[in-house]
């Protein structure tokens, strides 16, 4: 919802405060037949971005746009509007504005980078995520298989659509999509505007692959008299072959429908003369008839056969059978209308366009046919919609028609706030839909309408100089902002919010935060770990000699805890799986009672509408592996961990779609092998009271094995499970912000070293394939190295990264160097919690946790700027009160409420400035066993009475309930 609230101020500025009572011309959903589908549309090349990333191969447009002079301002679609990363936000917009469906296209070269052969599973995963989220949000996906973006490899291999081989290659690609996505996509289109592909690419050559005769255009090769028809023929056969395969192998089981998308601008005779009427009919035959006539009647229009003659390919008898009737519905892209007249003199050029033998006009008797939009070709002529639809009904029978594109554009340089006031577009939609309704009322079988376009985007030859969207996109930061077209519901909701907010004195202060303060689709959840709520621990190292033998007994109370999640409006639950509950010896024998427990919990989460986020390791290595080969210090750990994790993917991955490999691997390596304060208690004698260890080497060995374990697991998931299970995988890293104590260079360098040795230790390798340069220089030979093969495996081994953010420290350069060699000493940094006598923030119960909200902003912004705008989830954030807090005092956690409010406000600030944060998880759901602090620390938003394990929601839980309330 964030773009809506951000834009409200603009709405007021541009004077659209009365948008809630906009004139719809008497139109409503009820004006159209029952079951009529209302949607909006985009195409992959125009919105996705990630043109050179994510494993995608180049398409013919990628080559074309790089050649100067082809595209306005030499724009490219390398980023476009980055729907690849913003798809949830865009789908949420669809849902918010009551659309039923979304017509998107699939990039052939994102699936098959070379057009055939090798599959790019990262691309497959993207479309799975998009489709799944559409379904989750109740939006029906309409999948278009081709929208102008032929893989460049096929163009170079055999001249693309000029070669008959394209038929089989396209059908193979289409069949892969049917197999992979057809369980959810029930509405398919084979091609968008095949006429444009053939005419603009092979007749006048203004689109790639830029082929035409020399007398027609500025092309280096081509034949405008023949090639457009060859291409059109191959497009029709490709369409028909794909439909044939769908009907024979998939349609009965998947219960879907398939069709094609045809452009059709209405052609009105300039006068009532026979010559002009014949010219207009020729134009219609050469335009929509070129493709619609064969799939309806099995042959080209008689007009085309007579005029084009032998230049027009012929269908064999077998092909006629395949082509005839090869549709369940036909999409019509309808925008504009032109007057047509018989030309006064014939053309001396032979080409597809000259074969029409028709002259175009945009005025009649000195009166323009309609107002012109931004695009030179787009005149606003609503009655053309009525005539188009009626013509198809009368000439081609009562076929199922979908208006698959309809819209108009404004200039691309329209800036905020003026770019939101698109009253001309509102009138366009109202008038065109009124004419559509008229045709439907007279018997036209039209079952859907799709507005073009959801978003402002890359508009082909016009680049970003044209805006067709009902949602404004700021191309500088890709923020979405709704236009007047869709502002109506926003203002209604805003008015209700004001009324409720003023009258409700009992409402807690959220600092103006709400669910709508964050991007659409933003996930808000809470977390626990297995050991802290269900596990076992060694006695003797814990405050009060506490153990986790019982902990909160979530093993038996999981339904109660999940019900609390649902009651307080959380979207998700991040839990961890205990390795030793699945494999008691770490490997080998499976404990099926443990498996059954996690199955019960996961099933109940799904039943209650809570999305499970599964963390595979949270500080609980099976003791058997520590005793067998020293656990993390041995490379064998990598293989055993992968085996355990693969079991989890196979067993739970049909329901768990969000995975994390490790929680805070830095803590595992540093506290377990550097200062030895947590198991396995290894350190050098000069640092701590350990019986074994070497803190100069062992932390880095452990860290290296953890990174390799993570990367190998991600590789396994991507190769074997991700495409089928349609999930994502990442890692959870702790990152307390390190702020320079002073502005001096040495303190700044010290703070940067601290960040590199902290979050950089693990994030740098998985992002860039190597350790931070700082670490390489300081640690030297003690730092393990990745082999070339490992670099490939490690680099990019994440779909998202979880950041556990709690606190902040001042960092300065130490006055005297240490004579000890260890991981912590390698930082060469001094920590402080005060500056000029002022404490950095209020201290929580834990000695290390100072409340510093601005550290959240700085941590997130740093990750964005240093590591690229990767997908971040704030996977832990919270504070603790003393464990001895009793009822009812333990419920009044006002300091915690202020903590969450202030930290989330700083998080929102970072998001508003472009940080790609897609979720926030509060730590923790319940008070629990807090490691070395035992039960002397309470992090939960739910109070647990450890005597009887009863749960009591704290004030902070009710604060979240209000914050997370979903507006209707």
Mapping DSSP to helix (H, G, I), strand (E, B) and coil, where does residue 124 land?
Answer: helix
For the chain, state the CA radius of gyration: 32
Interval 604-633: pLDDT, tens: 999 999 999 999 998 889 999 999 999 999
Interval 738-796: pLDDT, tens: 999 999 999 999 999 999 999 999 999 999 999 999 999 999 999 999 999 999 999 99
Q: How far is the C-alpha of 477 from the C-alpha of 473, rounded, in Å?
A: 8
Question: Is the CB of residue 236 less than 8 Å from the CB of residue 323?
Answer: yes
Per-residue pLDDT, averaged over 48-76, amounts to 95
Q: What is the pLDDT, as a whole number, of residue 789?
A: 97
Mapping DSSP to helix (H, G, I), strand (E, B) and coil, where does residue 830 land?
Answer: strand
Is the pLDDT confidence value at 19 over 70?
no
Q: How far is the C-alpha of 122 from the C-alpha of 126, rounded, in Å?
A: 6
Q: What is the pLDDT, as a whole number, of residue 249?
A: 97
Q: Where residue 883 falls among pLDDT bands split at 50, 70, 90?
A: confident
Task: Locate 102 and state its tokens.
Answer: 């979304």
Distances, alpha carbon 741 to alpha carbons 115, 515, 780, in Å: 55, 35, 27
Q: Does 2 or 209 have the greater pLDDT score?
A: 209
Q: Where residue 320 falls among pLDDT bands split at 50, 70, 90?
A: very high
Dihedral angle computed from the Cα positions of residues 175, 178, 181 and 183, in that order, rounded to the nearest 10 degrees: -150
Non-local CB neighbours of 262 within 8 Å, separated by 6+ positions: 193, 194, 195, 288, 291, 292, 330, 331, 332, 333
DSSP code for 379: B
Interval 426-464: pLDDT, tens: 999 999 999 999 999 999 999 999 999 999 999 999 999
Is the pLDDT confidence value at 885 over 50?
yes
Q: What is the pLDDT, as a whole number, of residue 828?
A: 94
Non-local CB neighbours of 689 within 8 Å, separated by 6+ positions: 676
Is the pLDDT confidence value at 312 over 70?
yes
Is the pLDDT confidence value at 507 over 50?
no
Residue at token pair 């297995």 = 530
Q: How far is the C-alpha of 868 from the C-alpha of 866, rounded, in Å?
A: 6
Q: Where residue 684 falls among pLDDT bands split at 50, 70, 90?
A: confident
- Helices 854-867 + 761-768 axis angle, to 10: 30
Active site residues: 193, 405
When mean pLDDT is compared across 257-271, 467-481, 647-661, the lowest value belongs to 467-481
Q: DSSP states of 254-305 as a string?
A: HT-EEEEEEE--EEEESSSSHHHHHHHHHHHIIIIIHHHHHHHHSS--HHHH
When mean pLDDT is compared across 318-332, 384-398, 547-561, the lowest value belongs to 547-561
Q: What is the pLDDT, as a whole number, of residue 492?
A: 29
DSSP code for 477: T
Per-residue pLDDT, averaged over 346-353, amounts to 92
Interval 574-601: pLDDT, tens: 999 999 999 999 999 999 999 999 999 9
Question: Is the CB of residue 35 less than 8 Å from the CB of residue 100?
Answer: no
Q: What is the pLDDT, as a whole number, of residue 534?
A: 57
Closest Cα to residue 665, out of 696, 711, 627? Answer: 711
């Amino acid at each position: 919802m964030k773009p809506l609230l951000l834009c409200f101020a603009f709405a007021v500025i541009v004077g659209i405060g009365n948008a809630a009572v906009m004139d719809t011309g008497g139109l409503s959903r009820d004006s159209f037949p029952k079951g009529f589908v209302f949607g909006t549309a985009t195409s992959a090349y125009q919105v996705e971005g990630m043109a050179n990333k994510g494993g995608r191969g180049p398409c013919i447009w990628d080559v074309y746009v790089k050649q100067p002079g082809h595209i306005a301002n030499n724009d490219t679609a390398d980023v476009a509007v980055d729907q690849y990363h913003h798809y949830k936000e865009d789908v949420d917009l669809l849902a918010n504005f009551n659309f039923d469906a979304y017509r998107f296209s699939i990039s052939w070269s994102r699936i098959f980078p070379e057009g055939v052969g090798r599959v790019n599973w990262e691309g497959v995963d993207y479309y799975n995520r998009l489709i799944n989220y559409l379904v989750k949000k109740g939006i029906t996906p309409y999948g278009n298989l081709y929208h102008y973006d032929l893989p460049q490899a096929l163009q170079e291999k055999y001249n693309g659509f000029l070669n008959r081989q394209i038929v089989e290659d396209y059908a193979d690609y289409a069949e892969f999509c049917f197999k992979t996505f057809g369980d959810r996509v029930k509405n398919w289109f084979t091609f968008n505007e095949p006429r444009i592909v053939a005419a603009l690419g092979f007749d006048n050559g203004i689109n790639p692959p830029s082929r035409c005769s020399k007398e027609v255009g500025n092309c280096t090769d081509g034949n405008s008299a023949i090639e457009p028809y060859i291409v059109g023929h191959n497009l029709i056969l490709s369409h028909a072959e794909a439909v044939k395969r769908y009907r024979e192998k998939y349609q009965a089981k998947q219960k879907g429908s398939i069709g094609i998308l045809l452009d059709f601008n209405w052609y009105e005779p300039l006068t009532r003369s026979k010559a002009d009427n014949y010219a207009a009919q020729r134009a219609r035959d050469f335009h929509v008839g070129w493709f619609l006539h064969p799939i309806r009647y099995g042959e080209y229009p008689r007009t085309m056969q007579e005029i084009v003659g032998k230049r027009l390919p012929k269908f064999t008898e077998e092909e006629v059978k395949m082509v005839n009737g090869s549709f369940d519905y036909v999409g019509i892209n309808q925008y504009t209308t032109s007057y047509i007249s018989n030309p006064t003199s014939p053309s001396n050029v032979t080409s597809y366009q000259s074969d029409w033998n028709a002259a175009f006009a945009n005025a009649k008797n000195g009166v323009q046919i309609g107002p012109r939009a931004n695009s030179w070709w787009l005149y606003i002529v609503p009655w053309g919609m009525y005539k188009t639809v009626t013509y198809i009904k009368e000439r081609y029978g009562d076929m199922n028609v979908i208006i698959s594109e309809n819209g108009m554009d404004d200039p691309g340089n329209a800036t905020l706030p003026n770019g939101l006031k698109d009253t001309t577009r509102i009138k366009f939609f109202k008038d065109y839909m009124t004419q559509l309704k008229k045709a439907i009322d007279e018997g036209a079988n039209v079952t859907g309408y799709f507005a073009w376009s959801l978003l402002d985007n890359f508009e082909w030859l016009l680049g970003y100089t044209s805006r067709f969207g009902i949602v404004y996109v700021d191309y500088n930061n890709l923020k979405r902002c709704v236009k007047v077209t869709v502002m109506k519901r926003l203002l209604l909701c805003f008015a209700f919010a004001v009324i409720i907010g003023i009258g409700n004195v009992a409402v807690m202060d959220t600092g103006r935060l709400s669910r709508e303060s964050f991007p659409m689709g933003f996930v808000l959840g809470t977390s626990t770990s297995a050991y802290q709520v269900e596990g076992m621990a060694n006695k003797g190292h814990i405050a009060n000699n506490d153990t986790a033998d019982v902990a909160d007994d979530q093993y038996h109370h999981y339904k109660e805890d999940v019900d609390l999640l649902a009651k307080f409006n959380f979207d998700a639950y991040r839990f961890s799986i205990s390795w030793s509950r699945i494999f008691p010896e770490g490997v080998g024998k499976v404990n099926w009672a443990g498996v059954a427990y996690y199955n019960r919990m996961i099933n109940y989460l799904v039943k209650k509408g809570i999305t499970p986020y599964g963390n595979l390791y949270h500080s609980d290595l099976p003791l058997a592996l520590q005793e067998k080969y020293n656990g993390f210090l041995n490379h064998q750990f990598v293989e055993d961990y992968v085996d355990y994790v693969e079991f989890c993917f196979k067993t739970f991955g049909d329901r768990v779609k969000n995975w994390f490999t490790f929680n805070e691997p830095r803590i595992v390596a540093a506290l377990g092998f550097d200062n030895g304060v947590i198991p396995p208690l290894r350190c050098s004698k000069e640092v701590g009271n350990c019986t074994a260890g070497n803190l100069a080497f062992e932390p880095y060995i452990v860290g290296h094995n953890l990174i390799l374990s993570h990367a190998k697991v991600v590789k396994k998931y991507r190769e074997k499970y991700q495409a089928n299970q349609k999930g994502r995988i990442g890692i959870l890293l702790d990152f307390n912000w390190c702020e320079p104590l002073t502005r001096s260079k040495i303190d700044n360098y010290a703070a940067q070293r601290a960040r590199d040795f902290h979050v950089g230790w693990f994030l740098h390798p998985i992002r860039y394939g190597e350790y931070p340069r700082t670490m390489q220089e300081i640690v030297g030979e003690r730092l393990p190295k990745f082999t070339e093969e490992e670099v490939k495996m490690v680099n990019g081994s994440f779909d998202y990264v979880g950041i556990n953010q709690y606190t902040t420290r001042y960092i300065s350069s130490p006055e005297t160097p240490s004579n000890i060699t260890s991981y912590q000493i390698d930082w060469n940094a001094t920590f402080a919690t005060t500056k000029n006598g002022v404490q950095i923030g209020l201290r929580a119960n834990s000695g290390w946790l100072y409340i510093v909200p601005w550290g959240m902003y700085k941590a997130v912004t740093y990750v964005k700027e240093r590591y690229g705008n990767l997908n971040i989830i704030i996977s832990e954030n919270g504070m603790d009160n003393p464990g001895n807090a009793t009822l009812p005092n333990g419920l009044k956690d006002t300091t915690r409420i202020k903590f969450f409010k202030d930290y989330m406000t700083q998080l929102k600030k970072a998001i508003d400035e472009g940080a790609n944060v897609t979720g926030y998880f509060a730590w923790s759901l319940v008070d629990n066993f807090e490691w070395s602090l035992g039960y002397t620390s309470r992090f939960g938003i739910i109070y647990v009475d450890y005597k009887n394990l009863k749960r009591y929601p704290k004030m902070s839980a009710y604060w979240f309930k209000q914050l997370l309330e979903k507006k209707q």
